Structure 1
Amino acid sequence: GLLNSLLEGTARLLLIIGYISAVSLMPDIRRVYAYHGAEHKTVNAHEAGAELTVEAVQKFTTAHPRCGTAFLLTVVVLGIFFYAPFGALPFGWRLASRLVLLPVLAGLSYELIRLSSRYSHIGVVRALSAPNLALQALTTREPDEGMVEVAIAALQALLKAEAESTAPADAAA
């Protein structure tokens, strides 16, 4: 029943955290995590209005409130409570409930991440977001200058493409 669902969800959460921790021991994954850190630093710098130079970007944190890692953790934690009422159902119905409700759970998690970012200046919101930021300590590393250069180039290319796609069409065309 309910207790079994809570235990299953907690086990799922611990497995995900354990997996992320274990793969972080691999040199190639540590490098990926450093690029992830460069991405966060660059986005943080951009959102703060800082100049996008390696020197300026390196001053920012590798944590970011709207990270995909935060989204994953939010989905898993909310899923523990979201699916708990369906724990006593036969397997087929439990599986169906998870599949049908997954888009709702994902949408709710996405909106909570966005809201927590917007209201991070409020103490209780900051406290509720702390586990998401703590998990990022596992999925990000301090990047080197070359990694930050790549992140800056990627963001600048994105911003350019975004500006071009939203620019009004040329009247002469």
Structure 2
Amino acid sequence: MPDYPKGLSVGGQAVIEGVMMKGLKTVVAVRRPSGEIVVSDYGGMERPKGWKGWPFIRGNFVLYDALVTGIRALNFSANMSGEETEKLTTKDIILSLLIAFAFAVGLFSILPVLVTSLFKPLRENGMLFALVEGTIRTVILLLYIWIIAFIPDIKRVFQYHGAEHKSVYTYEANEELTVENARKYSTLHPRCGTSFLMITMVAAIIVFSILGAFGPMSIWWKMFWRVVLIPVVAGLAYEFQRFTAKHLDNIFVKPLAMPGLWLQKLTTKEPDDSQLEVGLVSLKAALNLEWRDKKGENETDDEKEKIIEIESSVEKEKENA
């Protein structure tokens, strides 16, 4: 059996010519034009604590952390892959987050409301309005993903997305983290962010249908509530995804997770061996395997202390999973 920390909820995202992984710590591995794989270490992986870790609240903090770390990882990958020459400052990251948030709100919250409002009979029926609006929102999402999938650079990112999922499956199967072992696994994974997007679409329909049951409201109030209730929708979607991912063996739960897995057919592609290698390097680094390999009689006191710290964090991760 492979000697690495077991039972962690590992995962990440694809970046430009690389993969970002979260395990015991957060890292990103990128293949440079020369063929070399470089790794950037972002430090220990911590889940929301205290009230931030409460159900239906924690999802928003997890999502925020994923966005911030994702932008940093994308910046690093752009630099290492030779596509950018400037590094992002904290100000740049905040600005990028605001722009991304504004774009997402405009495209997936405001635009569906405006389009649905064009149909006068729907304006007086809040629940029907939310259903049609949600359908339009989902269509916009599907069209957006389908269109960007034709961009060659995005297609490669989607291949690295597949490499990320295959790497995670190999770890979850308690197999050695090798390309040979990873090849056979699916590119679709139930904890994927793509699945989260689809679940969010459904959660939004439910939340806004309930809101619509209280009576008709103006288009401005509709847009206001679509923005204000984003944390509620995200919190519900996160908890639902956690639940379905843990109970996929249940014949009643599995169908609920299938729409998200189907959507991943658009956002993941079959990776080649070199891309799988990058995904596995990223996962190994996220699991701190370089420290696990140092166990032995010749360990220094600092190394022993580090190993104890790592193993302690494994137990904490299991408790919080």
* Fold equivalence (TM over 0.5): yes
- What is the aligned counterpart of 2:138 among 3, 10, 13? 13
**Which structure has the higher relative contact order (CA within 8 Å, separation 6+)?**
1
2:193 & 2:233 partners in 1: Cα distance? 15
- What is the aligned counterpart of 2:181 among 20, 36, 56? 56
1:130 & 1:167 partners in 2: Cα distance? 35
Gaps of 5+ in 1: 169-173
2:210 & 2:255 partners in 1: Cα distance? 27
Which structure has the highest helix share of the two?
Answer: 1
Give the root-mean-square deviation of aligned CA atoms: 1.8
Give the stretch that moved more between structures: 119-128 or 95-104. Answer: 95-104
* 1:115 maps onto 2:243 in alignment: yes
* 1:23 maps onto 2:109 in alignment: no
2:233 & 2:130 partners in 1: Cα distance? 16
2:174 & 2:231 partners in 1: Cα distance? 34
Letter in 1 for 2:266: L
- What is the aligned counterpart of 1:153 among 266, 271, 281? 281
Aligned-pair CA distance for 1:18: 1.3
- Number of residue pairs matched by the alignment: 167
Counterpart residue number, 2:228: 100
Aligned-pair CA distance for 1:109: 0.7
1:101 & 1:4 partners in 2: Cα distance? 17
1:47 & 1:96 partners in 2: Cα distance? 42
Gaps of 5+ in 2: 1-124, 292-305, 313-321
Letter in 2 for 1:133: L
Aligned-pair CA distance for 1:160: 1.2
Counterpart residue number, 1:135: 263
2:232 & 2:284 partners in 1: Cα distance? 33
Aligned-pair CA distance for 1:45: 0.8
Structure index of larger Rg: 2
- What is the aligned counterpart of 1:75 among 171, 194, 200? 200
User: TM-score, structure 2 length as denominator?
Assistant: 0.49
Counterpart residue number, 1:89: 217
1:33 & 1:17 partners in 2: Cα distance? 15
* 1:40 maps onto 2:162 in alignment: no
Aligned-pair CA distance for 1:44: 0.9
Aligned-pair CA distance for 1:167: 5.3
User: TM-score, structure 1 length as denominator?
Assistant: 0.89
1:84 & 1:108 partners in 2: Cα distance? 14
C-alpha contact 1:86 1:94 (8 A) present in aligned 2 = no
> Residues 78-132 of structure 1: CA distance to partner in whole angstroms, max 9, x if unpaired?
1012112434322333233223322121111111111101110011111111111
2:143 & 2:220 partners in 1: Cα distance? 28
